[in-house]
Every structure is written in structure tokens, then in C-alpha cells.
Structure 1
Amino acid sequence: MIDIGKQWHVNHVVDDYRAVADWYRGVFGAVDVFTDQWLDPEKRWASMVAIADLAIDVMEPTAEGADLPLGKFLARFGSHLHASAYFVNSPPADIYDALTGTGVRCFGLAGTGRDAMVAQPMSPVFTHPRDTAGQLEFMPFSQARPGPLGVPGRWEDPRFVDGWSNEPWRTHPLAITGWRVGVVVRDLDRATDIYRALGADVVAKDDGKDAERSRLELGANTTVELIKPLTENSVAGGDLARNGEIMHSCIFETGDLAAAEAHLLAHDIVIAERDADRLITDPASCHGAAFEFVAAEPA
């Protein structure tokens, strides 16, 4: 079993990374993890921001990388959440072997294979999205200032610095008290088994009129919410119908759902669905990403 630690980030692939990073700063009070980083193997620019202790890597593939995985993703899906990345306490070749041993197809940066992972022991491993109900990324962890490709010193992730606190987001108008990663799936049992094989535990289920949902705890600090839509006439159902099983949403728990809604509306974000305990944004007003806000459960 892969030893999964903390969430590293969620990928948001877009066509203008600077504009979208600014949008996260303005709407969510996001702070910078790094800015304006070029990664040559993927031919893309990126800035990473943090909302509480959830990081979002805003990536813009360039025309030069049109035939590489991120470029192909943007061409096929447009701006959209892309993958969920985790720190792991294993070298990439071991991760590759563990996953392929269970039938999960894997690759490295820009579609490279196992030999490249052996040559670069601090590089990420990506799963084939069809094998893991959406793409997952596993990044070997360097305790000393984790940075791009785990190289210490390239940048300092503020979430790993003494004094880091999520309190600014609790007092923000969105009143964020926690977060989850949302994935749309066709077969809830199959997707749950995939995550269980990675060490996840089911902690809650919620069968609503529009979707069946299963919450799982994975690694050190991540809750994954698997969403099986029951209709295509919903944000999740439309995403699944258009794009298949995919990283769908960031789900934020809020201490004040009404205040969160007012803040989103003030930033010209369209609320596509709402009920007493949950609201869901229209991806068209959020650079192709869906965001859900759910009333925090009483402590």
C-alpha cells in the first residue's frame, strides 16, 4: 500500500493562469505558495495558491505543449479541475510498481515511463484517469521545504512553516472551516473500492435526490467526496455526461452559508443549485471549476 501523507494540491488547468490566480486571491482570500513557475517538461506556466490548507495549482499549458498531457487536457475539456495530488513517503519507482501491480496505468512528467522515475527520484507519478475514477498524482515528499518536484529550496510552502493558521479563512466572509475534494463517478462502489485500496476509509454517506455521495478520509488530511449523479440536469450530472469520471469540485465547509452565498454573488459568481445545507456554483462563472459550500456540521 502507498503511504499517503498530506494533500499537495488540486490542479486547475486554465487558459490564463495569472487571471485565474488573481480571481482566487480576490474571491477566496487565497495566499501564494509560488507564482509564475515554468516547468519545461510539461511546457506550462503555473501559480499555486492556498485556501486554508488546501492548495490549488493553477496551470496554463502553452501552445508549445499542445501535444503533451496538459495541453491535450485543455483542448479536450477546456478550463477544468484536473487532478488531485498527494505527498507520499515513497520514491516514484516504488509508487509506479505498487500501482501497476494492481492494474493501474501510470506515467511521469510529460508521459514519461518508469526509467525516468528511477533517474529522477523526486518526481511525480500520475495515474490514468480511467483506472482511478479521475486522475491522481503522487509526489515523493521532502521534509526540508518541499518545492516543485520535491526540490528543497525552490520555494517554501507556507503551509509547512511554523505559525501557519487557517484562522484567516474562518473569519473571511466565506467562513471556511474545512474542505473536501469532489469527484464525479459512474459506479460508486467501484470508485470506493479504488480509494479503499489506497488506504481510504468511508466515513459518511449521503443519498440525495440528485446524487449519491460517499465521503472517505484519505491520507493525513484529505476528505474525498465521491459523487454519483442521479440526473444529468445538475452541475455534477452535466460534468459526468460531458467529461466522464473526473475531478469535479472543491467542497468547502462553511460556518455561515448565507454569508458565503452573499459574498459569492457580490463577486458575480452564479449559484446553480442550492438547498438548506448546500450551494453549488455554476462552473461557467468560476473559470470552469465547480465549487460547493456546505453548512459545517456542529462540533
Structure 2
Amino acid sequence: MTSAAHKVWLITGTSSGFGECLVKIVLERGDRVIATARTLSKIQHFLSSPHAENLRLLELDIISGEAAIQSAIATALEFWGHIDVLVNNAGTGAKGILEETGSSELRSQFLSNVFAPVEVTLAVLPHMRVRRSGTIVMICSRSSWKPEQPGIGMYASSKAALRTYSETLAVEVAPFDMRVLIVEPAAFRTNTFNNMPYFVDRQIDDYNEMRAASQEWYTRMHAVIKGDPVKAMKAVADVVRGEGKAAGRPWPLYLPLGDLAYAGIKDKCNQMLRVVEEWKDVSTGLDVD
């Protein structure tokens, strides 16, 4: 894709946080936006934008199921006839000790953070493929690279699954001149971890101290987060449009956002490199004689 004006973006989860910021930024860049939310009343304020002529609002509950999503995307395509950029931003941030949450809460987290964006992607992908053009942006997380924090396992594992899915998707759609961007933000001032309470319905005494410390960590984290979501989404817009610091640079596939993302992902990669080198004599030479 080129950086020509009037790309059409479909962005999920635009009532707050990254989604809300990105809608405003994309409109300011001169592109067109289909802003979606579970409830349209929560995004009516976008209509007061000076660029409202380039905006359409669409009700889309990403966990409503394949048929409902297909119907919503069909409606979206009626606005301007195509979608150039899909941003899978909507999701939730589940918190809880893994043994206490069990598999049912994990399934719920994967529904909103993996299966829902996959279903939205599969609804849009055929139209991009026919046009031999399109960009799919997956909002993943630095937490998937650094999940060694009690309470974050459900969220981190769901984002890791979405990243891995997206890595294969990028290879499969490349022959059709389509691109995937895996965005890996660290802690930013959004409501990701405020939109779900800490799970305490099945408390195990052995985890009381750990659970309390984890809950306190989340409370402290919310108070000290420095990441500016506006700056983060400007970086996403730059990469997709090939502007700003992204101008003239090759497509990155991955886009870590924030100092903590840079440090956390680098640390994990270095850790893995150390392990594969230190344990090379155990890991290799295992072929059939």
C-alpha cells in the first residue's frame, strides 16, 4: 500500500483508550474511518469532529459471533466500498491467579482477545484479498513477552496466541500484497486493565499473599503509568501510512511501543539466546543415528 490519501480504516473498540485516540489521529491525517463500538451511544462524540464527513459509526460487538460480525462488516463495506486498514483493537484485560481462575475464565479471555479479532479479520480478509491490498493491525501486548507476573497470565497468554496467529497470517497473505502489523504496547494510560475486576470468586488460601500482592501491583501500576496513548497511536499511523519516522523504512511486522516494551522484549530475546547457547549440547544432536 502507498501513503495516498483517503485510506479507509475500520477500527474496533473506539469508545476509549487506543481506539479513541487512533480515530482522531487518522481523521486528522485525512483518511476515512469506520469507528466501531459495542454501543453506539459511547462514540457519538466523534460526530462533532471537524472531519466528521470522513467518519462513519458502526455498532459491532466483537464477541457476538461469526454471523453478526459478517453482517456488520457487510454494512461497513457499504460506506465507501472497501476497507484498506483493519485495526483489531477491542479486547479485555482479565486478571487473576491461574489456578483460581481455572479454564473457564481463560476461555472467556481467549474469546475476546483471540477468537473475536480472528473472526473480524476473517470477515474483512476476503475483500482485501480480492483487491490485492490491505493492512491488518493486531493490538497485542508487551505482556505476552514478559508474563512473569502473578495475575497477568490469562491476558498475556491470549495476546501471545494472537501474536503467533498473526505471524502465520502475515506469511499467508503476503502473496496478495497484504500486510500485518503486530503492535506490542507496554503500559499506557488506557482502560485495558480497568475494564475487568480481579478474579476472586474461587480463592485458595495458599495464594492469599500472592493474590494480595498482585492486586496491589495492579493498583500501583495504574497510578504510575506514563505511556501516552496519543503518541503510541501516532506511531501506528506513521507506520501504516509510511510517514514521520517510518518514512522510507521497510515494513517491520512487529511494532513495540514504549520504553518498557523495548526493554522487556529485548530482555526476553536475550534470555532465550542465552538458554539456547548454554543448553546447546543437550538440545542438539538428537536425530536418528
Give the TM-score, by structure 2 length: 0.30
Instruction: Name the structure with the higher helix share.
Output: 2
Structure index of larger Rg = 2
Bigger RCO of structures 1 and 2 (CA < 8 A, at least 6 apart) = 2
Instruction: Name the structure with the higher strand share.
Output: 1
Give the TM-score, by structure 1 length: 0.29
